[in-house]
Amino acid sequence: MSLKKRLALKIAYNGAAFYGFAPQIDVQTITGRLTEVLLSLGIKASILAAGRTDKGVHATGQIIGFEVPDFWDLAHLKILLNQKLYPHIYIKQIWNVNKGFHPRFDALMREYRYIFTPKLRNIFLSDFISKERVGDVAKLSQALDLFIGEHNFKFFCKTGSDAKNNIRKIFNVRFYSYKIFDEPVFVVNFLGNGFLYSQIRLIMGAVLAYSRGEISLLNIQEQLEIKARNYAIPVSPNGLYLSKVFYAQGSLLGGV
């Protein structure tokens, strides 16, 4: 029986090319593609992840973990994986980690980024920037502040999550303007201890509806307090990115 070592990998992927992260039958998923490529290298692995992104959602800082035979050189493995995973998945870094490391349960915080614009002139960016109807930008920023802190997000998530409860803490929300290839966009960064199934997409749907005058700030507050589900239309997934996952200091050291 060959000795094995556990690895953690930071990966980026174009979610538009996949039907989400989790494995599914008869459709291409990120886990499915990773498993396929690893098997081509003789590595049979069970892949764990910091978060299971939905169909169309991207990542720039997803963390995954699996075991490989001990003889693998990390730098060589990274080169081979990137050659085979191109063009939709990219391995940014690989670390040796202890046997008990779990990308999901050991994560302290996660950061998601939502990128959107009311007018998208460059159609070649449509897979990566969500085109949304935007009203009063000041009202949008005002509504986002309501979500900072610990809340029960029962009315801001879709059914189907395997979460044991709906309580999550959002530490910070940052809203700003940016340009991508000369395309003016808005960006919202959410930093929290965890996020439920479609939570960010439903939050963004509600705050954008408020910015357009379709619902009131009280409607959002009532929904956050689980008094009434006043708005339940999520924004498009293509503007959403899992951008960073945070772990205890020293968990990920000396990677290649």
Residue 64 domain-assigned (yes or no): yes
137 CA to centre of own chain? 24
Q: Which residues are catalytic, by number? A: 54
Q: Are residues 19 and 97 in the same domain?
A: yes
pLDDT tens-place values along the chain, 256 residues long = 569 999 999 999 999 999 999 999 999 999 999 999 999 999 999 999 999 999 999 999 999 999 999 999 999 999 999 999 999 999 999 999 999 999 999 999 999 999 999 999 999 999 999 999 999 999 999 999 999 999 999 999 987 666 789 999 999 999 999 999 999 999 999 999 999 999 999 999 999 999 999 999 999 999 999 999 999 999 999 999 999 999 999 889 788 9
The number of folded domains in the chain is 2
Q: Are residues 42 and 128 in the same domain?
A: no
Q: Which domain holds residue 164?
A: 109-244
Smallest CA-to-CA distance from 203 within 231, 244, 174 is with 231
Q: Are residues 73 and 142 in the same domain?
A: no
Residue 254 domain-assigned (yes or no): no
Token output for 138:
């000041």
Token output for 217:
């700030």
Q: Are residues 233 and 119 in the same domain?
A: yes
